[in-house]
Structure 1
Amino acid sequence: MSDQYPLFALSEEHQEIRKAIREICDAKIAPAAAAVDEEARYPQEAHDALIETEFFAPHVPEAYGGVGADALATVLVIEEIARADVSASLIPAVNKLGSLPVQIGGSEELKKKYLGALAAGQGNFSYCLSEPDAGSDAANQKTRAVRDGDFWVLNGVKRWITNAGVSEYYTVLAVTDPSMRSKGISAFVVEKSDEGVSFGAPEKKLGIKGSPTREVYFDNVRIPADRIIGEEGKGFTYAMQTLDHTRITIAAQAVGVAQGALDYALGYIKERQQFGKPIAEFQGVEFMVADMGMKIEAARQLTYAAAGRSERGDKDLTFFGAAAKAFASDVAMQVTTDAVQLLGGYGFTRDYPVERMMRDAKITQIYEGTNQVQRIVMARQLLAGIQSTL
């Protein structure tokens, strides 16, 4: 019976990865999380600790100097960091988002140069897709790239770029043939130091205040022709393939922050007394934490299942990536809100971490495609008959 219906569990190796990253989070990341949020500053403590322990960009293959973590291991890393600080979890998450187009479509020379630099911790890697008029309508790009001999010249504006200004490297989507809409979009690697690259002021955000979000400006940015990623006109394809994989990392963030909020709330309700007994003994509170735990575990299992599909490249990855991201982020928003409720007035203050977790959780419903867009993606997959039957 057990051979026919195997039990699904983390391997010993994956369990060790979780243990290792949790120890780093407890020692180096969690203690700075409140200050990072309060000061709206980049979590340099986390950055340095992740480079030191090779969790900075764990997805980079061994062939390019990385540790070659599989999709599930990468999810575990991001989940555990988000449990301590969602802002810090964007370091490995966005490094994967920014560099994955290079890994998917880039030349061998491009992979060696930029994946190698990322693996060595020489700089973060950001993803420049969104524009003022190209949010959910991501194909509506205005940034242009024009060929000029052995160079490409880029002009345009990108908006909502995570870790902009901090990152050294940027995957930039730009129109190379305006007549072809999405098939006329190409992808390029741009470096922070390239002449003509500049940044807007950091956005003043509700949450993830430790991760700078800025506009990126390209003013006649002239880059070598070999910095194009893959084939001309394939950029949008690479971008969408990337999101199929990286939406799962957003699901991991959502699971992590939800778990962090539940962990804190459980400790609080066992200590907080009203009417002569801990509030954890009241049935209404018990029902709340039961629902919180149940939904987190459902989100976690869906996220891990999606990670497996990411690693294998299954045909239903698009559905599972969208489903994991939408479900887990909805759970994160509900669980963190409930955690604030369980702490009562204390939960509404910055003296306790659950209000930060609630603010941080909100973005998981928005970035890398709003949950409304995720539902469109899922529906189209279902209507096309693409869904797992296992």
Structure 2
Amino acid sequence: MFTFDKLGLPVLGLRGLEADLSEEERAIQENVHRFARDVMRPIGKKLDAMTPEEVVAEGSPLHDYMAQMYASGILDLGALDSMSDLEKSRIFPLIFEELGWGDSGLAIATLASAIPAFTAYGTGDPEIIERFGSLPGCWLATQPDKGSEIVDMDATNVHPGTQQLKGNLSVRKDGNEYVINGQSSAWVSYGPLAQTAMAYLPCDYGDGLFKEGTQGLNWVGIMIPLDSPGVSRGKPLDKIGQRALPQGGLFFDDVRIPEKYAIATGDKAVGQMMGTLTFANMEMAATFTGVARAAFEHALDYVHERKQGGTAIINHQSVQTRIFSLWQKVEASRALSKHVFSYNYASHGPHVLASVTSKTFVTDTAFQVTSDALQLFGGNGLTKEYPMEKIMRDARAAMIEDGENTVLGLKGVTWLTRWYQDKHNISV
């Protein structure tokens, strides 16, 4: 039981109901928050108004942002990699939420561009780290004919009697090299500016692309220097949201890559891709908790300033109810996001079920929160004078990127029912 001598005001932190941050964690949070407020928000606003070509052009504010991000040390890969799992489970969601609060497009540009470097450090191979560990890159998985299907690399959700699509981009083993041909989708995050790629592609090791007697493909996880002969790029994509995040296609014409750069083959490539997806989905949940929080905070400011019916609109009960609903959704999103980070960095984790649970819930909720927050602004919310229409556009993209939410949910329930059947020793 709790008792109160005097019921005072709640103590709320940057992330609402924060109870247990250490001094070091609070200092990290405050540092990232300042960067998000002072650097990310103004640059994100500028980039949102620019064409995709202007965003990636020389002299773009995007380059200034990336330079400041690297100089800030916020994503020092060496330092982050040396943390204990407990430290990662607490500090990563804190950092990612603040970056999402600043600008989700820039946050994802930062994280997507670091995936090859993260992967390189994970190999522990000095040569791989030297070649890929310090260059901006991209995560290459989707193709024009293989979008959501990439989430189902093990072919458990393929329609009966059919096979996975070959796709538009594949690899064949040729002696001590891999030869890449075809095109990626136009949705490769940071693709227009990346210098390296971490790619997961169908691979012919000599017996064809398909595993014999299965519905599924053979796969390879391969690191690609994008200055290799035969690599070219498509136009940067024009889209409704996250316009600060450059996305575009990559084309490969007999691109030859040393065998050493294939860091995962066969089933190991499937496992590594699912590991990358598990981290990315977990990160998306924290990032878009920050987006939802930004929308809530803008709405909370506005309802205390805007007057209708003779008073600030926060004094109308309908507005009070709606503000509290936004607050609840943000806190629920954060709680689930933090819970999944704890699970994935505990001894029994990580697992893709955990991450898709948080990614789908939080991104769906973030869009609800941004839409409902915009509604409180009335007509003002639809104008570019206020930040709400941009935040809502940014949030909408999250329900598709890093796995379309319905398909991720199907993958999640596959693992849930597998767990249930194993636990009860049944098969249905």
Taking structure 1 as the reference length, what is the TM-score of the superposition?
Answer: 0.88
* Match runs of 1:8-23 below 5 Å: 9-23=20-34
1:339: Cα distance to partner?
1.4
The question of 1:129 aligning with 2:141 is answered yes
Larger Rg over CA atoms: 2
1:103: Cα distance to partner?
4.9
1:325: Cα distance to partner?
0.3
The question of 1:44 aligning with 2:72 is answered no
* Match runs of 1:344-359 below 5 Å: 344-359=378-393
Partner of 1:145: 171
SS at 2:221 equivalent = strand
SS at 1:194 equivalent = coil
The question of 1:174 aligning with 2:174 is answered no
Instruction: For 1:71 and 1:202, locate their aligned partners in 2 and report how far apart those are by CA, in whole Å.
Output: 34
Is the CA contact 1:83–1:260 (under 8 Å) kept in the aligned structure 2? Answer: yes
AA partner of residue 110 (structure 2): P
SS at 2:210 equivalent = helix
Instruction: For 2:81 and 2:362, locate their aligned partners in 1 and report how far apart those are by CA, in whole Å.
Output: 30
Partner of 2:130: 113
Deviates more, 1:77-86 or 1:281-290: 77-86
Deviates more, 1:367-376 or 1:296-305: 367-376
User: Which deviations, in whole Å up to 9, do the C-alpha atoms of 1:99-140 show, x marking residues without a partner?
Assistant: 454455x462354225632xxxxx322111001111111144
* Match runs of 1:1-390 below 5 Å: 9-40=20-51, 41=55, 43-56=62-75, 58=77, 61-62=80-81, 70-103=88-121, 106=123, 108-114=125-131, 116-117=133-134, 123-138=135-150, 139=153, 140-142=165-167, 143-159=169-185, 160-177=187-204, 178-180=209-211, 182=216, 184-232=218-266, 234-312=268-346, 314-315=348-349, 317-385=351-419
Is the CA contact 1:188–1:227 (under 8 Å) kept in the aligned structure 2? Answer: yes
Is the CA contact 1:58–1:69 (under 8 Å) kept in the aligned structure 2? Answer: no
Change (3 A) 1:13 1:377: farther
Deviates more, 1:344-353 or 1:106-115: 106-115
Partner of 2:15: none
Change (3 A) 1:199 1:386: farther
Change (3 A) 1:386 1:45: farther
> Percent sequence identity over matched residues?
25
SS at 1:171 equivalent = strand
Is the CA contact 2:115–2:198 (under 8 Å) kept in the aligned structure 1? Answer: no
User: Which deviations, in whole Å up to 9, do the C-alpha atoms of 1:252-278 show, x marking residues without a partner?
Assistant: 121111111111111111011111100
Instruction: For 1:175 and 1:57, locate their aligned partners in 2 and report how far apart those are by CA, in whole Å.
Output: 32
Length, aligned pairs only: 373
User: Which deviations, in whole Å up to 9, do the C-alpha atoms of 1:281-317 show, x marking residues without a partner?
Assistant: 1111111110101111110011111112222363463
1:11: Cα distance to partner?
3.6
Is the CA contact 2:66–2:110 (under 8 Å) kept in the aligned structure 1? Answer: no
Change (3 A) 1:58 1:19: farther
Change (3 A) 1:208 1:55: same
- The answer for unaligned runs of 5 or more in structure 1 is 2-6, 118-122
Is the CA contact 2:138–2:197 (under 8 Å) kept in the aligned structure 1? Answer: yes
Is the CA contact 1:262–1:336 (under 8 Å) kept in the aligned structure 2? Answer: yes
Is the CA contact 2:108–2:245 (under 8 Å) kept in the aligned structure 1? Answer: yes
Is the CA contact 2:192–2:236 (under 8 Å) kept in the aligned structure 1? Answer: no
